[in-house]
Structure 1
Amino acid sequence: MEKHGFTVTKNYLLETAWVATYTHGQGGRVLGVNSEMDALPGIGHACGHNLIGISGVAVALAAKAAMERLDIDGKVVLLGTPAEEGGNGKVILYEKGAYDEMDVCLMCHPAPGPRHSISLSGSLAISRITVEYQGHTAHAGLSPWEGLNALDAAVLAYNNVSLLRQQIKPTHRVHGIFEGKDWAPNIIPDHAIMQWLVRAPTTSEMEDTRKRVISCFEAAALASGCKVQITIGSVGNEIRQNKALGDELADVVLKCYGAIDYDWGIKSASTDFGNISYLMPGLHPGFSIPTIPDGGNHTTGFTEAARSETSHDACLVVSKALASVGMRVLTDEAFLQKVKDTFEEDKKLRV
């Protein structure tokens, strides 16, 4: 970015974050863009963060080129955001002021879907929960009745949630894993940890389902005689796609590039950009890349798909469309006001 005339600040507010800015003329509006930087343990770019990163760069460079050629006053802020996969990097950066200048913020995300399709679906709100059961060890053969089995409590909790799924809405998601330490088959485990995620289309729906899930954890403690500590961690809001920005993107895509849909994208996944879209006008379209069967996000098949030339071409297309939306923000005061009004109206619809 420095080679292209941007001012770059490394270690920006977080050790692994950065920001690249470009200003042309005096005054004007500020276009915000995100370049996510993250990966998944063992499977690398199985969520396509390599494409998300370069898309942000492409949008920022295109905006700069247009500003120079057409003498458009304004500023571009490209924010390199780490820790999307569970670390809430964008939320931390927002709280530290990284988004303060931006009038809007744009980014995109790859996913399976129809060829040449760009999606304006949203995402699910998410809550992280850590559940810790504390029991009492005993010899599993000699005197098991002296123990309080923390692993039994965790298994009960897991089964409770599995049965609860029959009664939750099909758009809701609950999933978790076991963790433990120093387990052995001849010792009654006195300690077990579970990590859980609860998701739903809106934050309020997620909170309602989370209450029912927590009851499952508490019931397991009661049945096993173990103590339980439940810690509610970070909460991620659903993406609130700004309709004015989305309509502009749809218009550009339909005229120039391909198809718009509202069914694909990452609608059943979650992202910390959802929190940003609660706080300022934002747009986070998905774009389809070709994958093998059962090779969606968070699989090794998607890792391979994300590195293909075809996927990079698809990334360039959505980046061009986002850059066009960004230029509308920088050049059309009435449009930007519509974007802001849409954001304020959306606040009233959040339930």
Structure 2
Amino acid sequence: MDREGVSWVSTMDALPGIGHACGHNLIGISGVAVALAAKAAIENLNIDGKVILLGTPAEEGGLGKVLLYEKGAHDEMDVCLMCHPGPGPRHSIDLNSSLAISHVTVEYEGHTAHAGLCPWEGQNALDAAVLAYNNVSLLRQQIKPTHRVQGVFEGKYWNPGFIPDHAIMRWLVRAPTTAEMEDTRKRIIACFELVFNIDNPLIKRRHPFFRGAAIASGCKVKVTVGSTCNEIRQNKALGDELADVVLKRYGAMDDNCDIMGASTDFGNISYVMPGLHPSFSIPTVPGGGNHTPGFTEAARSEVSHDACLVVSKALAAVGMRVLTDETFFHNVKDAFEEDKKQRG
């Protein structure tokens, strides 16, 4: 089985307003460190193989890794590796997956009117959005605790002096697998559409509350399903090798890194090629997890950089095993094919 190359990923984005609150600065230096180490090993030991360092933008909703894959950036890769920091005790490394995620945008169009003179002539788009939000809130008690649904309102030129004729809602729907996420997303979208669609037989027969909401709002709705990230499919052979490396060099792996509920476009890459995405812990203040200012501070600390280098060395060792051990490479490919069967 011919090998082409092993790639390590360095993400290159930050969060508006709070900077590296997801620790992508550490992911960036991890990819560089691993690639330099692997390159030196290949040159010094005359190893036949290729090392690829892939800089990827826009993980936070932009699907940067997916766009690069579609443009051929992964064509010379057999295996893709990266890591990600999260909150937890020092030296924790785990191989948990992530949540699949879908972005959904909802737009309500109504009709404006003077709020004092003739509000009855308006069709309140904000009311429609609020009703939809409440519908989702009621639905939450019927979805699994492993699923996540969050939404926010957006609007322009809103003023209590007139009836809002346009409202936008942006939603994220997450679940442990893509199939589960898609099922939950259907139920969430029904909450948006039931607000206005009084001809829906489901409303007429079973949900008078929704029918009342439809009559009250009288608005039109547009639902757009945006980008989707799959859950990470951790390659078992690669994961077992990482655990073995960590055990021999640093002691047993501690799986206390708390980042299970997050999502990443690396999940999409793990669907199309063998991939490994360990999480590693960095010490943070209480309440200072990912996407908080506290994590921004933690991600720039010396102890966090030390933790990053530990997992980077382990990833380098895993990558070199792929390049130097034909049997192991077969096992990695076989594990990927077996996982494809399991996920259907």
Give the TM-score normalised by structure 1: 0.91
- 1:38: how far off? 0.6
Match of 1:152 in 2: 127
* 2:50 counterpart letter in structure 1: K
What SS does structure 2 have at the residue aligned with 1:278? helix
CA contact (8 A) 1:248 1:325 kept: yes
Task: Determine whether 1:338 maps to 2:338.
Answer: no
- 1:264: how far off? 3.1
Match of 2:184 in 1: 209
- 1:255: how far off? 1.2
**Which of the residues 291, 295, 319 maps onto 2:288?**
295
What SS does structure 1 have at the residue aligned with 2:253? strand
Q: Which runs of 5+ in 2 are unaligned?
A: 198-213
- 1:263: how far off? 5.7
**Which of the residues 17, 31, 36 maps onto 1:56?**
31
Match of 2:164 in 1: 189
Task: Determine whether 1:99 maps to 2:92.
Answer: no
Give the TM-score normalised by structure 2: 0.92
> Which digits, 9 at most, give the CA deviation of each residue in 1:266-308, with x for residues without a partner?
2111000000000000000000000000000000000000000
- 1:69: how far off? 2.0
User: CA 1:28 to 1:280, structure 2 compared with 1: closer, same or farther past 3 Å?
Assistant: closer
> CA–CA distance in 1 between the matches of 2:188 and 2:177?
16
- 1:261: how far off? 4.3
**Which of the residues 264, 269, 272 maps onto 1:271?**
264
**Which of the residues 98, 104, 123 maps onto 1:123?**
98
- How many residues are aligned here? 325
> CA–CA distance in 1 between the matches of 2:219 and 2:251?
57
Name which structure has the greater RCO, CA cutoff 8 Å, separation 6+. Answer: 2
What SS does structure 2 have at the residue aligned with 1:260? coil
* 1:33 counterpart letter in structure 2: W
What SS does structure 2 have at the residue aligned with 1:247? helix
> CA–CA distance in 2 between the matches of 1:261 and 1:247?
14
CA contact (8 A) 2:98 2:261 kept: yes
Q: Which runs of 5+ in 1 are unaligned?
A: 1-26
What SS does structure 2 have at the residue aligned with 1:45? coil
> Which digits, 9 at most, give the CA deviation of each residue in 1:312-331, with x for residues without a partner?
00000000000000010010
CA contact (8 A) 2:92 2:256 kept: no
What SS does structure 2 have at the residue aligned with 1:132? strand
* 2:27 counterpart letter in structure 1: I
Match of 1:65 in 2: 40
What SS does structure 2 have at the residue aligned with 1:153? helix
Match of 1:10 in 2: none
> CA–CA distance in 1 between the matches of 2:102 and 2:129?
19
* Identity across matched positions, percent: 80
CA contact (8 A) 2:3 2:78 kept: no
* 1:125 counterpart letter in structure 2: A
